[in-house]
Amino acid sequence: MRGVMLNWRLALPLAGAAVLLALSFIAWRSGVPAITQTNAPAAVATKGEADLPPTMGNYEMVANRSLEKLDELVTEQGNRNPPSAQFIPPRLD
């Protein structure tokens, strides 16, 4: 009798943990957005890709058009001189 009680004391928390794990997996998978088709026209850069700010979204947009254009854009942006940073010395109060 005592052995049966010990098994239930172990089995119920394990079953509950398994249910929670399964529910969290299902909730996580439902949060993943599905790929949908849109009828919106694609944005086209008129001045050229060199004017785009260096963001991941802009890089992805250029890469979807042409990997050569992405290479040119990254090279051009990498060759620009960064703005000079103002040096602020630490306070020694």
Question: Domain residues of the chain, as ranges?
Answer: 1-30, 44-79
> Distance between CA atoms of 72 and 50, rounded to whole angstroms?
9
**SS3 of 57-83:** HHHHHHHHHCHHHHHHHHHHHHHCCCC
Write out the two tokens for 19: 């249910």
pLDDT digits (tens, 9 = 90+) for 30-50: 666 656 666 655 555 445 555
Enter the pTM of the model: 0.37
pLDDT digits (tens, 9 = 90+) for 2-23: 555 667 788 888 899 999 998 8
Q: Hey, CA dihedral for 81, 85, 86, 87, is it positive or negative?
A: negative
> DSSP 3-state assignment of 87?
coil
Let me know how long the chain is. Answer: 93
